[in-house]
Structure 1
Amino acid sequence: MDPASLTTSPLPLAANTFWFGDRLPPVEQLCLKTMAHCGHDVTLWTYDQLEGVPAEVLIGDANEILPFSSFIAYKEARGARLFADIFRLELLRRSKGLWLDADCLMLKPILDDRPYIFGWEDGNRINNAVLKMPADSELLERLWAFVTARPVVPPWWPWPKRIWQRAVYPIGLARGPEAVALGTFGPKIVTHLVQELGLEEHAQRPEMFYPVHYNETGRYFEPGAAEECITGDTVCCHLWLSNIRSKVEKIGVERFYAETFLGRKFAEFGIDAMA
Structure 2
Amino acid sequence: MKSDRRPVASLWIGDKLHYLNQLCLKSHLMHGHPVTLYCTDDVKNAPEGVVIRPAKEIMDLDMALVEATSASFLSNVFRYKMIRKTGALWIDCDAFCHRPFPDEWDYVFAGHGMRGALNCGVVGLPADCALMDQLLDYYDNLPDYPAWWNKKQRKQMDRISEKGDLSHAAAIYKTERTAFGPQAFTWFAQQTGDIAKAMTPDVLYPVPFQLNDVFFDPYGRVEGHFTDATVSVHLYTNGTKPYWRRNPPLANSYVARMCADLGIDPAAALEE
Q: TM-score, normalised by structure 2?
A: 0.85
Q: Which amino acid is the alignment partner of residue 244 of structure 1?
A: T
Kept after mapping to 2: 8 A contact 1:103/1:238:
yes
Unaligned runs of 5+ in 2: none
Q: What is the distance in 1 between the residues matched to 2:153 and 2:61?
A: 32
Note if contact 2:106-2:126 (Cα within 8 Å) is conserved in structure 1: yes
Out of 18, 24, 36, the position equivalent to 2:29 is 36
Quote the residue 2:73 is aligned against: 82
2:185 equivalent in structure 1: 190
Match of 1:102 among 93, 109, 119: 93
Per-residue deviation, 1:145 = 1.1
Cα distance change on mapping 1:23 and 1:157 into 2, 3 Å:
same
CA distance in 1, matches of 2:212, 2:61: 33
The equivalent of 2:112 in structure 1 is 121
Instruction: Trace 1:151-230 onto structure 2 (pairs within 5 A).
Output: 151-158=143-150, 176-179=168-171, 180=173, 181-222=176-217, 223-230=219-226
Correspondence for 1:232: 228
The answer to whether the 8 Å contact 1:44/1:60 transfers is: yes
Report SS of the residue matched to 1:118. Answer: strand
CA apart distance, 1:89: 1.2
- Normalising by the residue count of structure 1, what TM-score does the alignment of the two structures yield? 0.85
* Change over 3 Å in CA distance of 1:52–1:193 after alignment to 2: same
What fraction of aligned residue pairs are identical, expressed as a percent?
28
Which shifted more, 192-201 or 35-44? 192-201
Give the distance between the partners of 2:24 and 2:232, measured in 1 at CA: 10
Whole-Å Cα distance in 1 between the matches of residues 126 and 68 of structure 2?
A: 32
Which whole-Å CA distance do the structure 1 matches of 2:197 and 2:225 have between them? Answer: 22
Which residue number in structure 1 is paired with residue 103 of structure 2?
Answer: 112
Equivalent residue number for residue 146 of structure 1: 138
Structure 2 residue 255 is the aligned partner of structure 1 residue 259: no
The Cα offsets for residues 92-141 of structure 1, whole Å up to 9 and x where unpaired, read as: 22143100001111111112333211111134311101101122211111
* Contiguous gaps of at least 5 residues in structure 1: 1-8
Letter in 1 for 2:132: L
